Amino acid sequence: MESAHPSDPAAATSSAAPPPPPPPPLPRPVTETVRPEWGGIDRLATLDLLRLMNAEDRTVATAVTGALPRIAAVVDAVAARMGRGGRLVYAGAGTAGRLGVLDASECPPTFNTGPGRVVGLIAGGPPALLHAVEGAEDRPERAVADLDALAPTPDDTVIGLSASGRTPYTVAAVRHARTAGALSVGLSCTAGSPLVAAAELGIEVVVGPEVVAGSTRLKAGTAQKLVLNLISTAVMVRLGKTYGNLMVDVRTGNAKLRDRARRIVTEITGADEATARRALAATGGEAKDAVLVVLAGVDAPAAAQLLAASGGRLRDALELARRPVRTAQE
């Protein structure tokens, strides 16, 4: 029996599997939707244009309110992991990536977080903070490489930020984080997005069409900034980085922050400014330690020990300092 010749077109046609059909196109994100009634904004008086934009901005906080239960779940999960030494990592492209880097960069001076505890990754790397790096968001392999450089662990959290919820770099970051065992979170301004579907926890803040269609630096960017404010601030409160609403872990790197630390010490202790300055000088500018020096009557090393024994929480350290010391005979 003759076999079909390999060059026979009929044989090739009969043996080759048909190519798979192309995937259906994704629906247009709501952030890209055009509102016809806004088609004449270029002819509005300046004040009327600003009123329109301001009215739309007021809807953002309401949209965030609807997501608060999911945000709370993320805060508790992140705080538990960071309490075990884990890191918080933001990943995004464009406006979303810049917002993540912004939030990460503000945690050290505000909450005295250690190097690398809160990290921002942006598609295109540091140059993308100042200039758009075209095409960077379409390279999912770069997200994998950027995360691999951090060697994520199960105690880490990776939050992917994308207004459309479909940015390849961001979706890949969340998927890779989940594969590595880290907690993965998707934050999107579009319902039912691939980003949220890929993540273990999802936050959707749907703010609707932008006044300038597709310009997600507007309402979507505002929504993402509000959510990041909520997450990082609440996590730090849970970690004992505040005493009440006072920024007791502030890093005193300039005159303004040194003055703030002095006011914090006087506010908590009721001491005069001279006493607060002496306590801060003795503790190297550490406000929590200085409060213990004043209220517990201990020296700086003892204050540091009390905080270490209390997981860095000033309220617990003060309670520990008030306990009677047990003697060997007791």
Both tokens of residue 300? 């700086």
C-alpha 48: how far from its chain's center? Answer: 34
Label residues 10-27 b or e (16+ Cβ within 10 Å = b).
eeeeeeeeeeeeeeeeee
Per DSSP, helices labelled H in the chain are 9-15, 46-66, 68-83, 94-111, 140-148, 168-179, 194-198, 219-238, 255-269, 273-282, 287-296, 300-309, 314-322
Q: How far apart are CA 199 and CA 194, in angstroms?
A: 9
Determine contact, residues 101/129, Cβ cutoff 8 Å.
yes
319 is catalytic: no
Total Cβ atoms within 10 A of residue 65: 11
Q: What is the CA radius of gyration of the chain?
A: 26
Q: Which residues partner with 91 through β-bridges?
A: 121, 160
Name which of 170, 282, 187 is nearest 226 in CA terms: 187
Determine contact, residues 96/104, Cβ cutoff 8 Å.
no
Annotated catalytic residue, options 56, 137, 210, 286? 137
H/E stretch holding 187: strand 183-188
Both tokens of residue 55? 């009215």
Amino acid, res. 9? P
273 is catalytic: no
Which residues does the annotation mark as catalytic? 106, 137
